[in-house]
Amino acid sequence: MNLIQSLRPEARQAPESGIVAVANHGRGKPGLIPLWAGESDLTTPDFISQKTIAALQAGETFYTWQRGIPELRQALADYHARHFGGSFRPDEFIVTGSGMQSIQMALDAVAGHGDEVIYLSPAWPNFPAAVGIAGATGVAVPLERTTQGGWVCDPGAIEAAITPRTRALFVNTPSNPTGWTADRETLAAILAIARRHDLWIVADEIYALFCYGANRAPSFLDVADPEDRIIYVNTFSKNWAMTGWRMGWLKIHPSLQQVFENLVQYSTSGVPQFLQRGGVAALEEGDDFLAGQVEQAGRCRDALVDRLVATGRVRAVPPQGAFYLFFEIEGVTDTRAAAISIVDEANVGLAPGTAFGPGGEGFFRACFHRRLDLIEEAADRLAGWISAR
Amino acid sequence: MNLIQSLRPEARQAPESGIVAVANHGRGKPGLIPLWAGESDLTTPDFISQKTIAALQAGETFYTWQRGIPELRQALADYHARHFGGSFRPDEFIVTGSGMQSIQMALDAVAGHGDEVIYLSPAWPNFPAAVGIAGATGVAVPLERTTQGGWVCDPGAIEAAITPRTRALFVNTPSNPTGWTADRETLAAILAIARRHDLWIVADEIYALFCYGANRAPSFLDVADPEDRIIYVNTFSKNWAMTGWRMGWLKIHPSLQQVFENLVQYSTSGVPQFLQRGGVAALEEGDDFLAGQVEQAGRCRDALVDRLVATGRVRAVPPQGAFYLFFEIEGVTDTRAAAISIVDEANVGLAPGTAFGPGGEGFFRACFHRRLDLIEEAADRLAGWISAR
């Protein structure tokens, strides 16, 4: 028996990221415009980094609060009150080592071996992969494609997928990769299902403020009661160009604090205090930066959609939220092979829809959270590639 | 059903750290000398922090290699070759978000629901707690106490604890909390058992260089073949006063790289690149700092042991490795209550042995990795407290 075969099956069977596989093909190619990763091309703003540098120079290099420093949990409460209305308390928040870790901890809290977790598909692949490593089974419920090229969720399809093993519903809105953004009625319908079947909701609303035509996307916070079984997972990555910081948070019912503190203690044992100082700055001083990012992303979205639709071979509507366009090209079915060709021939990096599970096969994902001129250039190259086929 | 009751049992039953519980009692007490945590009182040295500050200022704030940046993996290979002999390759190393996360990932790789993992007790409580969250069962095999007050491991006791469900042996040497340091023959005997029963070894040798009277502690690296099933978990925390950085590493067989990259991707999605730059400095330029730390810890060890033994009420021998003294006080049995009294009456913070599982009940753990004058003062206070009883 070789070494890999003697590993736990759930670990050795975890899939390689289908995004990384194409990105590896194009890494370092001169002139390539990479739109495969979910991050902007801006470095973290100075007002954030400077706070972290100051804390590091001041020697904040010891073990720290497993739940997060009090200042950061207060800043999270204030941020939520400002953007979502109502009032929030610091003890509703747990600082984590990334949005991904927030998801891992939420899963550890609600589902394990033999359990099922329902999620909407196409989906960010890391979620079902983490479910599999936890020994649970991810059950994909497809979003429906509209004739115009948008996406809708049928809550009835969620309810139909529930079995006695179902423990949780994972709802990502606005959605990566589709941009589907649940309206309030859909959220209320999903919540009613969760209540009816005693299920947890893991709410991934990390793109809530990347919403076009509204200040923010509808949230489960708008429809839920405090006692509802909802765990909100979130990240500093997207709002403030902090993808490389690996910081996130959870919003939970305060009665669950000690359980989640234990999950922090026994997974990464906390987040560097000097990084958390930067997080405080992001939350307290970052609204303008964020608003500017969203405004720019909206312009980039329109530029990309307009140019692709103009080819006559792409059916797409501007997504309401997040910063991805998930689109088909008429006549292209093997999108993984095509993504490689597009790297080679158009010098643009797209993520193949195959990376996003059931319903994603015929699609490409382009991140448009970039400088406008780069998006325009990438869109022109893609349009040229499409027209030449 | 309340919210906590509807959580996954393995999560809601994870124990609160018994160290933290006492630390919370004494936090902020004026003049307290806290010896409960496993960290020195030095801030991270400037030659490390400066590299991180420079990287942050240079804008290294994007997603990065899931395995760790190439420079850091090379530095890890060089560090291992320098201290352990032989040659190492960068593709044997995976950068993680702490020694704790290294352990979590090693567990995810080898044991899950229904499996058993054997560990030596008394033990750092985070290990069995992480085993429980993973849905597996930790099986404690007690170290034996010598009449002089040291500790030894009987490999036969390990073998006797193996069942058809056993998947791995967790071996922490030098040990937190006991200071037990396996000799080469014991390591060879444990390895032979693992080979005979097709088990993985998770080798926690994070204190290998905190060894008194030798350059380093014996390591499984001294007795194993490359194809042996051993996963080494490690951390930057202890060697270079980087407890607050949350960075660690795994040394694995190169054939397991992709599996562990996937485990990184689906847990925290990597470690901040600007932190990794500091890690490179620690490994490449940190030998002198580390040697100085070990020399000081040795002096502190002797000062603490001498003063406690002089009371005539403490039986202890200087531990060969790590930086903890794990000791009994004659006539004191409820060490958790006594640890609280010692905070209140002697103004010294100790971790109660109850936090370290089977075999630890009658003990206290004192971390002596502190300034010598503070250790002397703390030891005098403890001696006074002991003598007054």
Q: Is A128 within the bounds of a domain?
A: yes
Query: How many structural domains comprise chain A?
Result: 2
What is d(CA B79, CA B99) in angstroms, rounded to the nearest whole number? 17
State how far Cα B165 lies from the chain centre: 26
Q: Does B126 touch chain A (CB under 8 A)?
A: yes
Q: Which of B266, B268, B289 to mutate to test the interface with A (most CBs of A within 10 A)?
A: B266
pLDDT, one tens digit per residue, over A242-289 is 999 999 999 999 999 999 999 999 999 999 999 999 999 999 999 999
How much is the mean pLDDT over chain B?
96
Q: Are residues A126 and A188 in the same domain?
A: yes
Residue B359 in this model has a pLDDT that exceeds 80: yes
Q: Are residues B214 and B176 in the same domain?
A: yes
Q: Are residues A240 and A142 in the same domain?
A: yes
Q: Is B262 within the bounds of a domain?
A: yes
Residue B275 in this model has a pLDDT that exceeds 70: yes
Q: What is the mean pLDDT of residues A318-325?
A: 97
Q: What is the mean pLDDT of residues B357-369?
A: 95
Q: Is A54 within the bounds of a domain?
A: no
CATH of the domain at A202: 3.40.640.10
pLDDT, one tens digit per residue, over A67-118 is 999 999 999 999 999 999 999 999 999 999 999 999 999 999 999 999 999 9
Q: What is the mean pLDDT of residues B322-342?
A: 95
| Residue type for position B374 | L
Nearest CA in chain B to A59: B43
pLDDT, one tens digit per residue, over A343-354 is 999 999 999 999
Of B286, B315, B337, the position where a domain reaches its end is B286
Residue B1 in this model has a pLDDT that exceeds 70: no
Residue A1 in this model has a pLDDT that exceeds 80: no
Cβ neighbour number for residue B226 with a 10 Å cutoff? 11
Under a CB-based contact definition with an 8 Å cutoff, are residues B259 and A13 in contact?
Answer: no
Q: Are residues A244 and A303 in the same domain?
A: no
Residue B383 in this model has a pLDDT that exceeds 80: yes
What is d(CA B372, CA B297) in angstroms, rounded to the nearest whole number? 8
Q: Are residues A242 and A143 in the same domain?
A: yes
Q: Is B309 within the bounds of a domain?
A: yes
Q: Does B241 touch chain A (CB under 8 A)?
A: yes
pLDDT, one tens digit per residue, over A183-237 is 999 999 999 999 999 999 999 999 999 999 999 999 999 999 999 999 999 999 9
CB contact under 8 A, B113 and A135: yes
What is d(CA B221, CA B263) in angstroms, rounded to the nearest whole number? 24
Residue A144 in this model has a pLDDT that exceeds 80: yes
SS (H, E, C) chain B: CCCHHHCCHHHHCCCCCHHHHHHHHHCCCCCCEECCCCCCCCCCCHHHHHHHHHHHHCCCCCCCCCCCCHHHHHHHHHHHHHHHCCCCCHHHEEEECCHHHHHHHHHHHHCCCCCEEEEEECCCCHHHHHHHHCCCEEEEEECEECCCCCEECCHHHHHHCCCCCEEEEEEECCCCCCCCCCCHHHHHHHHHHHHHCCCEEEEECCCCCCECCCCCCCCHHHCCCCCCCEEEEEECCCCCCCHHHCCEEEECCHHHHHHHHHHHHCCCCCCCHHHHHHHHHHHHHCHHHHHHHHHHHHHHHHHHHHHHHCCCCEECCCCCECCEEEEEECCCCCHHHHHHHHHHHHCEECEEHHHHCCCCCCCEEEECCCCHHHHHHHHHHHHHHHHCC
Q: What is the mean pLDDT of residues B344-371?
A: 95
Residue B148 in this model has a pLDDT that exceeds 90: no
CATH of the domain at B9: 3.90.1150.10
Q: Are residues A269 and A230 in the same domain?
A: yes
| Contacting residues for B28 by C-beta, under 8 A, at least 6 apart | none
How much is the mean pLDDT over chain A?
96
Nearest to A259 among B12, B62, B272 (CB): B12
Of A257, A285, A313, the position where a domain reaches its end is A285
Q: Is B90 within the bounds of a domain?
A: yes
pLDDT, one tens digit per residue, over A155-175 is 999 999 999 999 999 999 999
Please state the ipTM of this predicted complex: 0.97
Residues 263-302, chain B: which have Cβ within 8 Å of A?
Answer: 263, 265-275
Q: Are residues B248 and B168 in the same domain?
A: yes
How much is the pLDDT for A20? 81
What is d(CA B283, CA B236) in angstroms, rounded to the nearest whole number? 9
Q: Does B54 touch chain A (CB under 8 A)?
A: no
Q: What is the mean pLDDT of residues B40-50?
A: 96
| Cis peptide bond prior to B177, omega within 30° of 0 | yes
Min Cα–Cα distance to chain A from B253, Å: 8
Of residues A222, A249, A199, A274, the one with CA closest to residue A91: A249
pLDDT band, very low/low/confident/very high, at B27 (cuts 50, 70, 90): confident
What is d(CA A193, CA A120) in angstroms, rounded to the nearest whole number? 15
Q: Are residues B146 and B213 in the same domain?
A: yes
How much is the pLDDT for A148? 85
Q: Is B30 within the bounds of a domain?
A: yes
Nearest to A97 among B109, B253, B268 (CB): B268
Under a CB-based contact definition with an 8 Å cutoff, are residues B182 and B153 in contact?
Answer: yes
Q: Which residues of B touch A246 (CB under 8 A)?
A: 97, 268-272
How much is the pLDDT for B178? 97
pLDDT, one tens digit per residue, over B262-273 is 999 999 999 999
Q: Which residues span the domain enclosing B272?
A: 61-286
Q: Are residues B110 and B20 in the same domain?
A: no
- The position carrying tokens 């990390």 is A206
Of A254, A285, A316, the position where a domain reaches its end is A285
Residue B129 in this model has a pLDDT that exceeds 90: yes
Q: Is B310 within the bounds of a domain?
A: yes
What is d(CA A221, CA A245) in angstroms, rounded to the nearest whole number? 26
Nearest CA in chain A to B267: A101
Min Cα–Cα distance to chain B from A46, Å: 8
Q: Please state, for a pLDDT cut of 70, what percent of chain B lies above it.
A: 100
Min Cα–Cα distance to chain A from B296, Å: 19
